[in-house]
Structure 1
């Protein structure tokens, strides 16, 4: 079998994109068999590359990378642990690709897949933001038609490989090859593609110059896409998407704004106030995974906003303290308690100037949670106990008066609080 034939045989069947929803056993059997056969084909490809490495043309190298990249993600339905390992070994042979090779992949292996699905807000020739959406008011609906790139499972992994390997100084010249597929993924209506888009964007932010983002107007498009991602609360990918979108939003803000500037402050406030508090929390009472993800992603944002957290102190303290002593009819989540305590620490570190007013509320929640642990017949969570101690320590730093005041009185009132407060007081 020729090298091109091996490459062709490894094209992932389009049906894998709907693998989780397929009911036809014959189709599932056929796909599972393809998955098993693919391992042998990948091993053959690996061997052929080692034998013919010096004779491979630029196109062949690009086709090989575009073939292996879709297998470089263990979460995909068509990837087994063994095929993941072989794909990784193949890609490691091209760990330092030349710029012409990266451009070849983006131009010929990526662009052709996304050509039939142009983003209405992007100039496909330059990658710049358009002054107004192409196609008029209904352009966003047309954008979701003819998504032929979805017939190529793993296409996003090829984009990710390209983004990770473009030199920083080459981004501007190849902007038109990166942004159209990235925006197609970010603004897709399915959460799993949004998540892949956020991963690609995060990788890009590690290398792209901020000047290119701002000059092309793409920074505002990216932020808008990330904000919309936070409203995806009903998908299996929701927790991952929320964490990734908040982290990417923070990275984008810090890359494109100056430290201490009004612009940075406004964007951080929008992320916390509109994105998390206004979009996720009002609808997460019955969506614990979404709530957990949002609180898990809070600490870096709270530290970045600093004293600006004062604007949201009331709602932040209420949200983070409440899980420590839930009402009797509410389900207790130790994971939520631990994440809330970590966020409380970050809040006190970022905005210590405003903690004095809330020390009673915080201390009340911490003490009640500690009593719950001590009175419980279940084996106490060491992680929860440690986080309670960390919050008590952070509170003592922000409000030193609690050392000789509240902490001392708690320890005098009941010996059970000695382990929580005494070491800090000493």
Structure 2
């Protein structure tokens, strides 16, 4: 363990203060520590806040003229105290279970409430004009081994743009990847807190400058995501989650992050698996929506089997899944889900059908939680139904209302359906909307007594077909 340090910054030069914040390697064995080692850990963590405060005092008034190399070291030493896994996992709006919080807390055991509160103050006065130089310095100095050793893994996942000439042969890629996993490729793990260092870099990138630094940032993220140890996959997911707030879709297309997010879904059998699965599913969906529109439907089509397998476990993903599933259903009638396409479009209909095929089983397996979402889901179903009804009526000016209603009536929507025909997709959409609406009423019977009758009074012609059995009962 590092030697105890005095609390006065006036008696210790800056290099010694920085060295005092080196996180001991023994923290990597925290889960299996002996009682004596636990006591040593506790002693070290209790001293960290005063050391951070000493560093802040030593830097006071020097942020503008301090050497950029030293400033990079300051960031590298301080950021592991600023970002704890448990808090970052809550940034996606999901509340973790107590068991999950306990597991996540052990991932950054050197952080205490005091050290977490003290760490941002150290770099708070870092001017924006110096953040970019500090960021590039941190990535080159602290992440250099990670970047260089990442190449084998990155080649495997097509990190380079498809038109790049920097591809390696399959044999070369396998050789480098084997070296990455079996020899010096893991040396970067000696830097405890490296995930937080990378996160600081992402957290301090101006949205418009991603293209300038992506070659420094993406390799560490990819390496974390592709690592065989769950704790590093988790850090990769957290960093990717932060990137998705600001990153350009065009930049995402040049990386293999999407493929890694999907691969993470397999072979999860560690205590961190619940968190990893939740983050990878939600981020994969978000990333899909930010990139190719055709891939949205393919992703949605793959989800029903996953929902059946996870069953009630899907409740953890509701907050991420439902907005993505309802979005294609709730757009205005004059705007399709794909910019530049007409409102009634084959791809739009296919996307809506795919979304409903996920929504229906999701409501069933997450029945205990659906009541809180009932009005949001009903709103989406009603909007989609009315839009479809008006479109069908507009396309059938020579038909009377009864003919339009009959055209919308579903008759064996899984039989004799040509997925490339707009008419067949409309028929599927009508049936799926009815199925979803009836399923929602079964889970939330109050809808049949309160909300749906009120809607029916407002527009009985168009809404009568959504739940015809209830409408025929005069509700």
- TM-score, L = length of structure 2: 0.66
1:281 equivalenced with 2:307 (yes/no): yes
Give the Cα–Cα distance (whole angstroms) in 2 for the partners of residues 321 and 11 of structure 1: 50
Aligned equivalent of 2:423: none
Deviation at residue 160 of structure 1 after TM alignment: 1.6
Q: Greater CA deviation, 85-94 or 21-30?
A: 21-30
Aligned equivalent of 1:417: none
The answer as to whether partners of 1:120 and 1:143 remain within 8 angstroms in 2 is yes
Deviation at residue 99 of structure 1 after TM alignment: 2.4
Seen in structure 2, the aligned counterparts of structure 1 residues 342 and 189 have a Cα distance that, compared at 3 Å, is farther
Give the Cα–Cα distance (whole angstroms) in 1 for the partners of residues 383 and 132 of structure 2: 42
Aligned equivalent of 1:91: 123
The answer as to whether partners of 2:438 and 2:467 remain within 8 angstroms in 1 is no
Q: Deviations over 1:43-100 (max 9, x none)?
A: 1111211154354211111111111111112332211111111112223222623422
The answer as to whether partners of 2:226 and 2:233 remain within 8 angstroms in 1 is yes
Deviation at residue 310 of structure 1 after TM alignment: 0.9
Unaligned runs of 5+ in 2: 1-11, 87-107, 330-348, 389-427
One of 246, 269, 286 as aligned partner of 2:297: 269
Secondary structure of the 2:80 match is: helix
Seen in structure 2, the aligned counterparts of structure 1 residues 343 and 49 have a Cα distance that, compared at 3 Å, is same
1:80 equivalenced with 2:112 (yes/no): yes
1:180 equivalenced with 2:219 (yes/no): yes
Aligned equivalent of 1:15: 26
The answer as to whether partners of 1:111 and 1:181 remain within 8 angstroms in 2 is no
Deviation at residue 182 of structure 1 after TM alignment: 1.1
The answer as to whether partners of 1:159 and 1:178 remain within 8 angstroms in 2 is yes
Aligned equivalent of 1:2: 13
What does residue range 125-204 of structure 1 map to in structure 2 within 5 Å? Answer: 131-132=167-168, 135-137=172-174, 139-145=176-182, 146-204=185-243
Aligned equivalent of 1:49: 59
The answer as to whether partners of 2:210 and 2:247 remain within 8 angstroms in 1 is yes
What does residue range 11-410 of structure 1 map to in structure 2 within 5 Å? Answer: 11-19=22-30, 21-50=31-60, 52-74=62-84, 75=86, 76-94=108-126, 96=128, 97-122=130-155, 131-132=167-168, 135-137=172-174, 139-145=176-182, 146-214=185-253, 217-218=254-255, 221-231=256-266, 233-257=268-292, 264-265=293-294, 267-274=295-302, 276-278=303-305, 280-285=306-311, 288-289=312-313, 291-306=314-329, 307=349, 308-311=351-354, 313-314=356-357, 316-324=359-367, 334-335=368-369, 337-338=370-371, 341=374, 344-345=377-378, 348=381, 351-352=384-385, 353=388, 356-358=430-432, 361-362=435-436, 365-370=439-444, 400-401=463-464, 406-407=469-470
The answer as to whether partners of 1:320 and 1:341 remain within 8 angstroms in 2 is no
Secondary structure of the 1:32 match is: helix
Give the Cα–Cα distance (whole angstroms) in 1 for the partners of residues 210 and 171 of structure 2: 24
Give the Cα–Cα distance (whole angstroms) in 1 for the partners of residues 383 and 233 of structure 2: 31
The answer as to whether partners of 2:363 and 2:440 remain within 8 angstroms in 1 is no
Seen in structure 2, the aligned counterparts of structure 1 residues 56 and 228 have a Cα distance that, compared at 3 Å, is same
Give the Cα–Cα distance (whole angstroms) in 2 for the partners of residues 174 and 339 of structure 1: 42
Give the Cα–Cα distance (whole angstroms) in 2 for the partners of residues 26 and 202 of structure 1: 37
Give the Cα–Cα distance (whole angstroms) in 2 for the partners of residues 391 and 184 of structure 1: 51
Number of residues paired by the alignment? 370
Give the Cα–Cα distance (whole angstroms) in 2 for the partners of residues 297 and 346 of structure 1: 18
The answer as to whether partners of 1:117 and 1:184 remain within 8 angstroms in 2 is yes
Q: Deviations over 1:379-419 (max 9, x none)?
A: xxxxxx79x97799899989611799655677x8xxxxxxx
Secondary structure of the 2:39 match is: helix
Deviation at residue 293 of structure 1 after TM alignment: 2.7
Give the Cα–Cα distance (whole angstroms) in 1 for the partners of residues 450 and 23 of structure 2: 51
Give the Cα–Cα distance (whole angstroms) in 2 for the partners of residues 350 and 363 of structure 1: 12
Deviation at residue 342 of structure 1 after TM alignment: 7.5
With a CA cutoff of 8 Å and minimum separation of 6, indicate the structure with the bigger relative contact order.
2
Deviation at residue 184 of structure 1 after TM alignment: 0.5
Unaligned runs of 5+ in 1: 258-263, 325-333, 372-384, 413-424
The answer as to whether partners of 2:27 and 2:41 remain within 8 angstroms in 1 is yes
Larger Rg over CA atoms: 2
- TM-score, L = length of structure 1: 0.72
Q: Deviations over 1:254-302 (max 9, x none)?
A: 4434xxxxxx13x11232223x334x334324xx44x223333212321
Seen in structure 2, the aligned counterparts of structure 1 residues 403 and 136 have a Cα distance that, compared at 3 Å, is closer
The answer as to whether partners of 1:119 and 1:184 remain within 8 angstroms in 2 is no
Secondary structure of the 2:153 match is: coil
